[in-house]
Copies of this chain bind each other. A is one copy, B any other.
Amino acid sequence: MTYAAMLGMTVLQSTPQRTHLTLAVSGAGLNMHGTAHGGLLFSLADEAFAVISNLQAQAVAVETHLSFFRAAQEGDVLHAVATPERVARTLATYRVELRRGSPETGDLLALFLGTVSRREREANTAEPSGA
């Protein structure tokens, strides 16, 4: 079982233009505060980033930036929607919005920006590389 599966992530859409993952915050995802751990929010965004960046290339994360806006609570259903900011031959940057309740209109909990180093894949080697 991968880390993403262990944390309960589900991929709802994965296209090069939009990748959408969801996760329900369980009691095992909380910090000392009783709110969702920053690492859980990052992990969901990072997985959306890994999925979208590996659809058409072999991608390795170079750097990520995450701004935290609101805390999430146990039971919240989180949505991570990744979209490309710019995709070039050897580097690509993606934006991931983390929202609660609804992927488009829910409260924006955090904003993720990530850059990968990438190598375009031969038509016949489709298996992706990891976050």
Q: Which residues of A contact B (CB under 8 A)?
A: 1-4, 6-7, 27-35, 37-40, 42-44, 46-47, 50, 54, 60-69, 85-86, 88, 90-91, 93, 108, 111, 113, 115, 117, 128-131
Chain B contacts of A1 at CB under 8 A? 27-28
Copies in the complex: 4
The A contact surface, by secondary structure, is mixed
A66 CB, min distance to chain B CBs, angstroms: 5
Q: Sort A-B residue pairs by CB-CB distance and give the 8 closest, nearest first.
A: A39-B43, A33-B130, A31-B130, A3-B37, A38-B131, A32-B130, A42-B42, A63-B67
Given A47-B39, A111-B85, A117-B90, decide whether A32 and B67 contact each other with a Cβ distance below 8 A: no
- Out of B60, B68, B86, B113, name the residue touching A61 (CB < 8 Å): B68
Chain B residues with CB under 8 Å of A27's CB are 1
Establish whether residues A31 and B43, one from each chain, have CB atoms under 8 Å apart when the complex forms. no
Cross-chain contact A130 with B93 (CB below 8 angstroms):
no
A1 to B30, CA, bound (A): 8
Which of B3, B46, B108 contacts A28 (CB under 8 A)? B3
